[in-house]
């Protein structure tokens, strides 16, 4: 253990001070009959994320329920603006853009839709510029509201555009994938990719609201659903082992798109993220634990080429690598690693790491991970499991990391 290079300790979940997040009926949604049925877990609920640093209140609600996309009251009380731009992609826009447009027409005189090319490989400057082109061509002003209708790529790019256009305009997250609903739409991280690293160019910029309609998840391909489950699973080992127990009991229901199971998974994930982000908005300490599996995962994405594996697939496999590294460092036992690996596999995710370079596979992983945002002076920082339900951020010897990669990679 003496060869490990620790960083400043991350507070254990047990020591986290309570924050003022709440799960309740979505009071903002009480104009008219609420969608969803009482008692089935799908009537509108709210998780509130509290951000009041420097005397500025940037808090906002996350609405969770069925039928919210078509319900005009889901979008009541947002900043008033005559213009709105729905940013989506060529896959999602034909399914849901018109529904959202109809719901927004009660709040904005002019609502237009922009459909970006679909896929992680398009999360770049040229695609981002399409959003600016649309805003400028319609004479959008500083009050124009952007609505991100899609998965993590759309949400990240729309948020980055909102942070940049006229130095900041309001935006709303309307996530249509499980991954976006439980992770990327919450917390204000916005970015585009660079060929040398994922999400390397961006800004922290909070939405005004997140609207998670559970019904849209029923149109997800099985592969996309599994990718989202990776981001749900990660909350267990780092924060809440009761959630991990629950996921083991309900994984089949989640993959079968059971609405009540999805409602619980989304709500609990948002609760945890709201609690963590409320204490560390800009990832100076505690928030880094949310990157469990991501250091290895981002290397997989960059090494294979963006889009070859979905983000959640790379994170799922990355969690196996990170848990194995935790075990090799003596932090958790083999039984814990095997348990987590079984759950990730049951979610339909890969558990064997791909070969990025047949000549020096581990070396390629290490080179890519040194470009990770958490690296410091070339030293890679990993989110590891200190003990089940609690994470830490620390370095590890290259030789040991090589052993883990070789042990977990495909022959």
Show which residues are catalytic. Answer: 167, 189, 231, 273, 283, 287, 291, 294, 298, 311
Between CA 195 and CA 199 the distance in angstroms is: 10
Between CA 16 and CA 271 the distance in angstroms is: 13
Work out the number of other CB atoms within 10 angstroms of the CB of residue 127: 18
Give the single-character DSSP code of 89.
E
Between CA 388 and CA 372 the distance in angstroms is: 25
Element of type H or E holding 295: helix 294-304
Which has the closest alpha carbon to 396: 350, 351, 331? 331
User: What single string gives the DSSP state of each residue in 151-198?
Assistant: SHHHHHHHHHHHHHGGG---EEEEE-SHHIIIIITSS-EEEEEETTEE
Which has the closest alpha carbon to 331: 377, 268, 374, 394? 394
Between CA 147 and CA 105 the distance in angstroms is: 13
Between CA 230 and CA 178 the distance in angstroms is: 10
């Amino acid at each position: 253990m003496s060869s490990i290079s620790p960083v400043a300790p991350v507070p254990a979940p047990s020591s986290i001070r309570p924050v003022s997040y709440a799960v309740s009926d979505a009071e903002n949604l009480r104009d008219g009959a609420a969608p969803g049925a009482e008692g089935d877990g799908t009537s509108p609920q709210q998780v509130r994320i509290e951000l009041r640093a420097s005397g500025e209140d940037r808090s906002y609600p996350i609405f969770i329920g069925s039928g919210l996309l078509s319900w005009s009251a889901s979008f009541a009380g947002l900043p008033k603006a005559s213009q709105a731009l729905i940013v989506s992609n060529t896959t999602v826009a034909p399914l849901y853009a018109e529904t959202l447009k109809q719901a927004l027409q009660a709040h904005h005189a002019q609502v237009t839709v922009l459909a970006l090319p679909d896929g992680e490989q398009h999360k770049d400057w040229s695609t981002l510029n399409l959003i600016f082109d649309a805003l400028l061509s319609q004479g959008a002003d500083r009050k124009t509201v952007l609505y991100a209708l899609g998965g993590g790529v759309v949400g990240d790019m729309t948020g980055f555009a909102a942070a940049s256009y006229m130095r900041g305009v309001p935006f709303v997250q309307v996530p249509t994938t499980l991954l976006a609903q439980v992770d990327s739409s919450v917390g204000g991280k916005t970015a585009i990719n660079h060929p040398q690293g994922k999400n390397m160019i961006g800004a922290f910029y909070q939405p005004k609201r997140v609207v998670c309609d559970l019904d849209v998840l029923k149109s997800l391909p099985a592969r996309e659903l599994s990718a989202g489950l990776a981001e749900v699973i990660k909350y267990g080992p780092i924060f809440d082992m009761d959630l991990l127990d629950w996921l083991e009991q309900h994984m089949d229901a989640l993959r079968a798109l059971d609405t009540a199971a999805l409602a619980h998974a989304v709500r609990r994930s948002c609760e945890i993220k709201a609690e963590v982000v409320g204490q560390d908005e800009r990832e100076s300490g505690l928030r880094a634990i949310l990157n469990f599996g991501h250091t290895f995962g981002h290397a997989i994405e960059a090494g294979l080429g963006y889009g070859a594996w979905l983000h959640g697939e790379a994170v799922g496999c990355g969690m196996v690598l990170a848990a194995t590294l935790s075990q090799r460092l003596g932090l958790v036992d083999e039984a814990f690693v095997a348990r987590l690996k079984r759950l990730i596999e049951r979610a339909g995710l890969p558990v064997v790491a791909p070969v990025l370079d047949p000549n020096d596979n581990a070396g390629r992983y290490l080179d890519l991970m040194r470009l990770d945002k958490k690296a410091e002076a070339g030293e890679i920082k990993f989110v590891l499991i200190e003990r089940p339900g609690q994470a830490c951020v620390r370095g590890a010897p290259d030789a040991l990391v090589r052993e883990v990669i070789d042990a977990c990679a495909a022959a």
